Amino acid sequence: MSQGIEVVGLYVRDQDEAVEFYVGKLGFRVHTDARNGNYRWLTVQHPEQPSFQLGLFAPEQPTLDAATVQAMREIVAKGGMPPLVLVVDDCRAACEQMRSRGVEFTQEPIDRYGRVDASFRDPSGNGWKMIQAR
Amino acid sequence: MTTSPGRGSRPLAASASQDPELLRRLLRAKDRMDAASHEEWPVRRLARVSCVSEAHFARSFKDAFGVPPHRYLLTRRIERATALLRDTDLPITDIAFQTGWKSLGTFGRTFRDITGESPGDLRSQQKGTLHELERVPACFVSAAQRPALTIAVSEKRRQEARDINDASEPEEAP
């Protein structure tokens, strides 16, 4: 693939905490972690998906003005960001493993329409749906 | 359209900002209601999840999410009942008890007040009309069909009663 989406970013409240979560608990890898002063470009990658990066960005000045930074932090903390979907081979096993690492599940795995799904949140409040691959 | 001044119609303040750390903890209480909307959620229990006092919880939750916690819970129960009516053949009584109501009568009345239809009518109408949404994960479809309960159910009842009384009078231009 030479064309397509390479990076999609999330807003997180703390980038160190986000690395600890996405790498330490979900098993992603750091792809890029570049700093320039206070600015930090941070992306992670699913180990089985080398063509895609998930950006873990902090809403910050001067990219955003102070009021917008505050509004963004509030929206993320209220779970107001759009849904994210993670596909796994075995939803119940993945849930078990992630929970043992301290991931906060908001919905236990349930079987509906022949597919098992569960929900969890990252520490910032971003909500993930975890769905079993067909 | 009539707006009722006074009780419960505090104007939307130029959205005073709230502490994101507090909001994250309030979200946890909202998540817990989502996960078990059939359970009882007194403010004491919710406040404990969010690690705040009861008085602080009720006010902050409404500021954060636009509705008081108990009304939010009601929308989740109705949403879930609607899904069960549509997707299962469970008797309506079972659905009422499974979604947290203690009596079939209260369920039926509240359901009709909020959705405008009785559970039975909604069931016969919705069966088989949602096939185009099959590719959307079920939870998102369900959330999108959550009733928007911007006023209290009791107020909605009063308004509807007024509307019926007003029906004979000519409509005023805005």
pLDDT in tens, A14-62: 999 999 999 999 999 999 999 998 899 999 999 999 999 999 999 999 8
Q: How far is B31 from chain A (nearest CA, A)?
A: 6
Q: If you average pLDDT over residues A58-78, what whole number do you get? A: 96
Mutate to test the interface with B, among A13, A21, A60, A74 (most CBs of B within 10 A): A74
Q: If you average pLDDT over residues B85-91, what whole number do you get? A: 90
Within 8 A of A131 by CB-CB distance, chain B residues are: 137
Q: What pLDDT shows up at residue B158?
A: 80
A38-52, A62-76, B84-98, B126-140: the lowest-pLDDT one:
B126-140
Percent of chain B with pLDDT over 90: 56
A94, pLDDT greater than 80: yes
Taking CA–CA distances from A120, the nearest residue in chain B reads: B31
Q: Which two three-digit tokens encode residue B129? A: 């009309």
Integer angstrom CA distances of residue B68 from A42, B30, B99: 38, 11, 19
C-beta atoms of A107 and B139 within 8 A? yes
Amino acid at B148: A
More confident residue, B141 or A111: A111
C-beta atoms of A78 and B138 within 8 A? no
Q: What sign does the CA torsion over A84, A87, A92, A93 have?
A: negative
Q: What pLDDT shows up at residue B71?
A: 94
Give the span between the Cα atoms of B4 and B51, in whole angstroms: 34
CB atoms within 10 A of CB A93: 12
Q: Which two three-digit tokens encode residue B77? A: 């129960």
Strand partners, A112: A115
B4-13, B130-139, B147-156: the lowest-pLDDT one:
B4-13
Please give the biggest Cα pair distance in chain A: 50
Q: If you average pLDDT over residues B142-154, what whole number do you get? A: 76
C-beta atoms of A76 and B21 within 8 A? no
Q: How far is A118 from chain B (nearest CA, A)?
A: 10
Q: What sign does the CA torsion over A82, A87, A88, A90 have?
A: positive
Average pLDDT, chain B: 83
Q: If you average pLDDT over residues B77-81, what whole number do you get? A: 94
Within 8 A of B63 by CB-CB distance, chain A residues are: none
Within 8 A of B69 by CB-CB distance, chain A residues are: none
- Residue B173, classed as helix, strand or coil, is coil
C-beta atoms of B17 and A124 within 8 A? no
B168, pLDDT greater than 70: no
Q: If you average pLDDT over residues A86-95, what whole number do you get? A: 97
Backbone φ, ψ for residue A63 (5° rounding): -55, -40
Q: What pLDDT shows up at residue A4?
A: 95
What's the CA dihedral at B20, B21, B24, B29 to 10 degrees?
Answer: -130
Q: Say what the ipTM of the complex is.
A: 0.94
B138, pLDDT greater than 70: no
Within 8 A of B98 by CB-CB distance, chain A residues are: none
pTM of the model: 0.81
B105, pLDDT greater than 90: yes
Q: How far is B106 from chain A (nearest CA, A)?
A: 27
Q: Which of A77, A85, A106 sits opposite B24 (nearest CB)?
A: A77
B118, pLDDT greater than 90: yes
Q: Band of the pLDDT at B9, cuts 50, 70, 90?
A: very low
Give the span between the Cα atoms of B21 and A100, in whole angstroms: 24
Average pLDDT, chain A: 96
Q: How far is B15 from chain A (nearest CA, A)?
A: 10
Q: If you average pLDDT over residues B39-45, what whole number do you get? A: 97
Q: How far is B97 from chain A (nearest CA, A)?
A: 20
Taking CA–CA distances from A83, the nearest residue in chain B reads: B140
Amino acid at A117: D
Q: Band of the pLDDT at B58, cuts 50, 70, 90?
A: very high
